[in-house]
Amino acid sequence: MSDHYQVLGVSRDATGEEIKKAYRKLARKLHPDVNTAPGAADEFKAVTHAYEVLSDPQKRRVYDTTGQENGTDNGFGGAGFGGQGFGFQDIFDTFFGGGAPGGGRGPASRTRRGQDALINVRIDLKDAVFGTNKKIDVETAVLCPTCEGSCCQPGTSPRTCDICHGSGQVQRAVRSILGQVMTTAPCGSCQGFGTVIPDPCHECAGEGRVRSRRTLTIKVPAGVGTGTRIQLSGQGEAGTAGGPQGDLYVEIRVNADPVFMRDGDDLHATLTVPMTAAALGTVITMDTFDGEREINIKAGTQSGEVTTLKGLGVTHLRGYGRGDLMVHVQVETPQKLDAAQEELLRRLAELRGEEFAEGRVSGSSNSGVFAKLRDRLGNH
């Protein structure tokens, strides 16, 4: 008689899990449906028989002590797949890499974790700059206040299923390539739970949770932008049968501001300056999110020039400090002039040599864009 430990390729002090792992590896290699080489079927019988002996603690103890198998047959047929050490679970594990559906798992639990929830919240740009606390209304599933998650009407309790007797599973015989084997499936009477609820809670219909509206206060950190998500652990949907709550995700939407535009962590604003102020220079007070700030308009400022106010932008979300505020100057040209104003501007233009007359440009007549255009047209 061959040594069973040598047949499986394990040491004599191998654990049950090591023996089972070794058998699975050899069975996949030698099974007649996979390996048609001469002798493979006999080897498969040998390793199966060795596993049947060594996987049974009592048979293994007798074998280790006496070298005998206590009356077991050395052939494949004597032990069979219904032996104590080898059953349908092992066959399924060996050839399909997992347990039979519901096999050995016992009754299923009614308790399930609740789903995550997502809501959108709008905030102003100033709130994104500094952060804020905001109250939000959330409608989600909460623990049923009547049954407190038991799913049963108060004063009643679940009853053991009469069909599966609490196991949550039923067995049936099916034919396979390996002969007739027993399979397990969830009990259709109790849906695999092992118990039935004869009198479900009237408020939640036996689910253990109900829909409800509640108010939460969330902390919106400084620096958030449109699309930023804030995770509130355990504030989502309540689970069934008293299961834990999922998470709540708050997605931020930042409203457009009438004055400031955001670019990353910088802010941009347009400051309209009268033509005379831009020419002569002045100081203009501007309202910012940090209060009033003075903007120095130098004499001769042109449209498009930018004044940067350091550290008056958006707070960095993942770091320290803030971005900048960029003030873009736009020089305003007057559109309606009375006679006196028009006369003053004409006088100014004369003094600067910029007066217009009869469609000709006087003053710098031999230079600039207009001179080049005139010269080009004159050559044609």
Measured CA distances, 331 to 40, 155, 165, 243, 284 (Å): 94, 80, 88, 65, 13
In the predicted model, is pLDDT for residue 350 greater than 60? Answer: yes
Query: 189-199 pLDDT, tens per residue?
Result: 898 999 999 99
Q: Give pLDDT, residue 150.
A: 92
Q: What is the chain's mean pLDDT, rounded?
A: 82
The model's pTM: 0.59
Domain 4-96 and domain 261-332, same fold? Reply is: no
Both tokens of 297, joined, read 């308009």
Binding-site annotation: residue ranges for Zn(2+): 144, 147, 161, 164, 187, 190, 201, 204
CATH code of domain 4-96: 1.10.287.110
Arithmetic mean of pLDDT, 284-306: 93
Give 108-146+205-256's CATH code, choosing from 2.60.260.20, 2.40.40.20, 3.40.50.1390, 1.10.10.10: 2.60.260.20
With H, G, I as helix, E, B as strand and everything else as coil, classify residue 269. Answer: strand
Residue 369's pLDDT band (cuts 50, 70, 90):
very low
What CA–CA distance (Å, rounded) separates 142 from 375? 83
Question: Comparing 36-50, 91-105, 176-190, 198-212, which segment has the lowest mean pLDDT?
Answer: 91-105
Which residues have C-beta within 8 Å of that of residue 314, sequence separation ≥ 6? 128, 129, 222, 223, 262, 264, 265, 266, 267, 322, 323
What CA–CA distance (Å, rounded) separates 19 from 59? 14
With H, G, I as helix, E, B as strand and everything else as coil, classify residue 43. Answer: helix
Residue 200's pLDDT band (cuts 50, 70, 90):
very high
Architecture of domain 261-332: Sandwich (2.60)
158 and 132 Cβ atoms separated by less than 8 Å? no
What CA–CA distance (Å, rounded) separates 145 from 163? 32
Longest distance between any two alpha carbons in the chain, whole Å? 129
- The residue ranges of every structural domain in the chain are 4-96, 108-146+205-256, 261-332, 339-378
Both tokens of 176, joined, read 């396979």
Binding-site annotation: residue ranges: 144, 147, 161, 164, 187, 190, 201, 204
Between residues 379 and 356, which one has the greater pLDDT?
356
